[in-house]
């Protein structure tokens, strides 16, 4: 295979040389590293990876190709993929196309044959960085300057949110999902529980949402800094107490902001499928899938009506919160898994239960502790 040489130029001026695979296209983005060993298809189709150059720590990627079932969105938003070794002869009964064929179809470039572990260690030491993928030539000073002056867009959510509302009919609870870049698995988890789901664009107003008379509202995952989608914070604030809320990922950060807490950027985030998270009350630990670069500031929760439900065992980051008075809770991790462990799928059951309870008590007011 004669692939052109390509280079990953990092913000700090360092450069990794490897070989190009996938589409032949130069891109700029933010390099993030995921430690998930399987599930590359879900990761590269997750709208949360919008604008990201995703590097995999697991060295062999592409082993089972791309199949029809494991997409998290139909349009991928990932900027580029970095792997140690692209597996050129995939094998799986479900395989539709190879990863590389799929990348070419969608114009996604990839870089392989680089020391991804060295890249990981660099990012661990220096934090997440901007980077450019440059093809066929050693990066110049100009490339470095351009990268230095490149500012990451702030409108990722607008890029990935559905432009129009759409419906997935079901016989159960009516759920509105504020689509900030929702993974399809969230929809799968809801429809599996018979929910009647309506996906709506991120800029939809609270009034409009309540107009559909939902039993509950899910604030989805999505890319970028929660503070760049302040209009959604407003929407959530208006919905709080009027309808059960369930936030996931970005949705969790937005619920926190809506309740007066703060968020901050992490050094290099959590991206993987092996994070132990402890339920504060039962002390039981579950393993979760995570994919976030921002986090809720723990101290900022003190002056809010939020309480912590889940904590990360390793570094103590806030993994779950719940409103003390209103039916609203959220988790930083991904209960819908895909990729990652399915330990926390039960949170969707809790959400359905919360909606049921809220309907029963709706005339009596708020339901405390619906999730505990």
Which residues of this chain interact with another protein, rule CB under 8 A? 33, 35-39, 41-42, 57-60, 63-64, 67, 69-70, 84-85, 87, 89-94, 113, 115-118, 120-121, 124, 272-276, 278, 282-287, 313-314, 337-343
The CA distance from 89 to 262, in Å, is 47
> How many angstroms separate the CA atoms of 323 and 321, rounded?
7
Instruction: Name beta bridge partners: 271.
Output: 291
Q: CB-wise, 126 or 238, nearer to another protein? A: 126
Q: How far is the CB of 251 from another protein (least distance, A)?
A: 22
Element (H, E) at 191: helix 184-192
Phi-psi region of 183 (alpha: psi -120 to 50; beta: other; left: phi over 0): beta
Give the nearest distance from C-beta 10 to another protein in angstroms.
14
CB-nearer residue toward another protein: 189 or 337: 337
How far, in Å, CA of 255 to CA of 240, rounded? 9
Minimum gap (Å) between residue 336 Cβ and another protein: 11
In whole angstroms, how close is the CB of 92 to another protein at the nearest point?
Answer: 6
**Cβ closer to another protein: 91 or 299?**
91
Q: Which is nearer to another protein, 79 or 344 (CB)?
A: 344
Q: In the chain, what is the straight-line distance between the N-terminal and C-terminal CA atoms, in Å? A: 56
332 HSE (CA, 13 A, CB side): 35
How far, in Å, CA of 54 to CA of 38, rounded? 14
Closest approach of Cβ 155 to another protein, in Å?
30
CA distance 96 to 7: 29
Q: 43 vs 245, which CB is nearer to another protein?
A: 43
Q: Cα–Cα distance between 328 and 241 in angstroms, integer? A: 8
Nearer to another protein by C-beta: 89 or 141?
89
Cβ proximity to another protein, 210 vs 287, nearer residue: 287
Question: Cβ(79)–Cβ(52) under 8 Å?
Answer: yes
CB of 156 to another protein, least distance (A): 24
Task: Of 233, 69, 246, 242, give the one whose Cα is nearest residue 157.
Answer: 233
Of 126, 43, 20, 37, which is closest to residue 338 (Cα–Cα)?
A: 43
Based on CB atoms, which residue is closest to another protein, 243 or 337? 337
Give the shortest CB-287-to-another protein separation in angstroms: 5
Nearer to another protein, 53 or 209 (CB): 53
CB of 34 to another protein, least distance (A): 9
Residues 314 and 294: their CA atoms lie apart, in Å, by: 17
Closest of 204, 177, 206 to residue 190, by C-alpha: 177
Q: How far is the CB of 74 from another protein (least distance, A)?
A: 18
Q: Which helix (H) or strand (E) holds 144?
A: helix 141-149
| Backbone conformation region of residue 6, classed left if phi is above 0, alpha if psi is from -120 to 50, else beta | beta
């Amino acid at each position: 295979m004669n692939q052109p040489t390509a280079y990953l130029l990092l913000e700090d001026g360092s450069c990794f040389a490897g070989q190009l695979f996938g589409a032949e296209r130069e891109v700029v983005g933010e390099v993030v590293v995921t430690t998930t060993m399987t599930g590359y298809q879900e990761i590269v189709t997750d709208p949360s990876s919008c604008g990201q150059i995703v590097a995999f720590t697991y060295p062999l990627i592409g082993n089972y190709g791309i199949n029809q079932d494991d997409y998290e969105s139909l349009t991928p938003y990932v900027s580029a993929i970095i792997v140690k070794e692209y597996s050129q002869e995939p094998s799986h009964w479900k395989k539709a196309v190879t990863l590389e064929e799929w990348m070419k179809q969608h114009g996604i470039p990839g870089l392989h044959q680089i020391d991804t572990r060295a890249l990981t260690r660099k990012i661990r030491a220096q934090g997440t960085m901007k980077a450019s993928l440059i093809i066929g030539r050693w990066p110049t000073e100009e490339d470095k300057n351009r990268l230095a002056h490149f500012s990451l867009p702030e409108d990722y959510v607008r890029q990935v949110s559905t432009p129009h509302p759409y419906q997935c009919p079901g016989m159960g609870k009516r759920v509105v999902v504020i689509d900030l870049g929702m993974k399809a698995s969230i929809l799968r988890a809801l429809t599996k529980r018979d929910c009647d789901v309506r996906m709506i664009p991120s800029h939809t107003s609270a009034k409009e949402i309540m107009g559909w008379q939902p039993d509950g509202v899910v604030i989805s995952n999505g890319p970028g800094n929660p503070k760049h989608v302040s209009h959604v914070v407003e929407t959530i604030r208006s919905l709080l107490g009027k309808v059960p809320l369930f936030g996931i990922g970005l949705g969790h950060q937005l619920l926190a902001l809506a309740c007066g807490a703060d968020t901050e950027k992490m050094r290099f985030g959590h991206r993987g499928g092996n994070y132990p998270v402890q339920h504060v009350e039962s002390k039981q630990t579950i393993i979760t899938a995570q994919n976030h670069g921002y986090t809720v500031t723990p101290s900022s929760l003190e002056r809010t009506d939020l309480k912590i439900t889940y904590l990360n065992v390793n570094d103590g980051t806030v993994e779950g919160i719940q409103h003390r008075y209103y039916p609203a809770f959220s988790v930083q991790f991904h209960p819908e898994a895909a990729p990652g462990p399915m330990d926390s799928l039960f949170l969707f059951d809790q959400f359905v239960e919360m909606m049921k309870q809220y309907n029963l008590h709706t005339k009596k007011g708020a339901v405390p502790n619906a999730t505990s």
